[in-house]
Structure 1
């Protein structure tokens, strides 16, 4: 009998990828906090998760040159500009460091939770395979 990782791991395999993507976006916001004209972005988790659940087959690959592969990556699902909570400081930058740091820490905690949950799932499957 074959093991279906999609059924065994459920939605958590998708959430891990979205959490990683969100960490990159938030880190980019923090890195550009002093860049004039930079607009803060964030990932709409619900939209990205629904897109990840409906996606079939993951990455599509298309050969563009005999020695190259093109990864069929679309722009980040659910990526949108954040509405600033404070008035413009005159340079057009919409990054609020306090909000970005809080979101980054919350995302990190949720990513760790997902990793621990997946670890428990794999441990359970390992025990089932051993017959424990």
Structure 2
């Protein structure tokens, strides 16, 4: 398995894509704060990822050994935003709560920075391996 095809690298890359999309969605929600009838958009990647990982339960009996190596395909998890129709905060039917969006924006920024730091650490490990090999 190569560095760029490793599962942790792929998950970090996907998470950075999700965090970037979530940032755009939250900014779009905030921009439509005063639009009557606007329903906020959400990105529910973590729930979909959990579903994908839990959907591939192994049966009690496995006919062939190679079936044990079957891993859930978390890379197929959808990254499209969805409308949230469940709540309406105001009389104009707009359900954007500025405080909630700002909290989500802050949380997303922190998680994005953590993922970037982790990915940076992986590149530092790779750099160390490459430079120490010639010694």
When the two structures are superposed, what TM-score results if normalisation uses the length of structure 1?
Answer: 0.71
Distance 2:41 2:15 in 1: 19
- Determine the structure 2 residue equivalent to 1:5: 4
1:83 Cα deviation after fit: 2.9
Higher strand share: 1
1:82 Cα deviation after fit: 5.5
Larger radius of gyration: 2
Choose which of 84, 89, 97 in structure 2 pairs with 1:81. 84
Higher helix share: 2
Greater than 6 Å deviation, 4+ residue runs:
none
Structure 1 residues 1-132: aligned runs within 5 Å: 3-7=2-6, 9-46=9-46, 47=48, 50=52, 53-55=74-76, 76-77=79-80, 79-81=82-84, 83-84=86-87, 88-131=89-132
- Determine the structure 1 residue equivalent to 2:68: none
What stretches of structure 2 of length at least 5 have no aligned partner? 54-72
1:4 Cα deviation after fit: 3.6
CA RMSD of the aligned region, Å? 2.6
Count of residue correspondences: 110
1:81 Cα deviation after fit: 1.3
